[in-house]
A = this chain, B = another copy of it.
Amino acid sequence: MNSLHSFAFGLATHNSSAELIEAFYPMPCFKPSEALSDLLVTSFELAAMSNNTYTVDPDTAAHLVSELETLGENKLATQLSAMSASEQPVIACLVSVDAPPQSIPEAFLKLHLLSHRHVLPQELNLNGMFGVLKNLAWTNLGPIDLDDLPALQFAARLEGKFINVETVDKFPKMTNYVVPRGIRIADAARVRLGAHLGEGTTIMHEGFVNFNAGTKGAAMIEGRISAGVIVDENSDLGGGCSTMGTLSGGGTEIISVGKNCLIGANAGIGFPLADGCIIEAGLYVTAGTKVQLLDATGNLSKTAKALELASLTDMLFRRNSISGAVECIPLKTSMSLNEELHSNN
């Protein structure tokens, strides 16, 4: 009846004008039970088919903690109790409908759901999120409103201290919010909150994962996973390789990488890559690249745009280094990840 799509209790950051600019949810919940949904909807009087965020005052928190314990939601109860006892602003964000996010806490909840692996990329409605999020300085003191920053930087210097501005962006880095199980990220600045990293994923220094993008399972990522792109299990993206996004400069085709693929270093794709395919190092194949399709014996079958070959599995894309032509030829052996490297215990 009252089933929520998702919700979370969290701590918020405000700017000097008392506006909420950021939210941290230690335990975002996706599809909570009907009993839990009911408790929350009733407590906060959430209107039907709507989404809202509430500040949780101590009385409400005490009531909820008690009810959560009754429901057996002990971890939530403990966290809410701790938050309520702190001096930080406590919020509850309730989402009934997966509509375009209308507020910062709602947008942050969806980004958390992705990075906590509750949903896969492309499964949430994130339309218009850029317009909702606020561009902030992410620093060693936490997120700071850009209007507040110069005075704080000056004040710090007056005391011989230094504010380290790591990012000026609408998105923070994921690892300051959650590190999902079984991953490595060599340079955490390269993975935004809202990335989905499957268990067994390693992101090397040159790897990058945007929000609403990522891997489904084990993967070695030394290249860039653009917004919206999903990489399936046991694939390897070589150093500096590119997957074309749809946000900027790319086309409208949604890009994905299948299972057991290898995109070579400094290579790139502008079309969805089927299972077991290899793109040779240094070769960029866009959706419109004309490709010579060869049979297993190396004879020309036909010439086609890469996008038209996107359903073919176990193919090697290469540029013939004598003729200069881009070719696509069936693979004889298949790709496997290095077990030792990819264990993330």
Contacts and interface: CB of A to CB of B under 8 A. Distances in A.
A91 interface: no
Interface in A328-345: 337-338, 340-341, 343-345
Interface string A264-281: 111110100000000011
Task: Quickly give the copy total for this chain.
Answer: 3
A238 B224 CA distance: 12
A303 interface: yes
Interface string A158-177: 11111111111111010110
Contacts of A189: 166, 186-187, 189, 205
A86 interface: yes
Contacts of A206: 208, 224
Nearest to A326: B321
Contact of A264 (B137, B222, B249): B249
Contact of A137 (B140, B175, B340): B175
Interface string A80-113: 0011011110000000000000000000000000
A39 interface: no
A175 to B, nearest CB: 4
A187 B154 CA distance: 22
A176 B167 contact: no
A282 B130 CA distance: 28
Interface centre among A134, A159, A161, A166 (most CB of B within 10 A): A166
A291 interface: yes
B157 A185 contact: no
Contacts of A83: 158
A239 interface: yes
B284 A157 contact: no
Interface of A: 11, 24, 26, 79, 82-83, 85-88, 128, 130-131, 134-135, 137, 140-142, 146, 149-150, 153-154, 157-171, 173, 175-176, 178-179, 183-190, 192, 205-206, 208, 220, 222, 224, 226, 236, 238-242, 244, 247-249, 262, 264-268, 270, 280-284, 286, 289-292, 303, 319-326, 337-338, 340-341, 343-345
Q: Which 3 A-B pairs have the closest CB atoms?
A: A324-B324, A282-B284, A165-B175
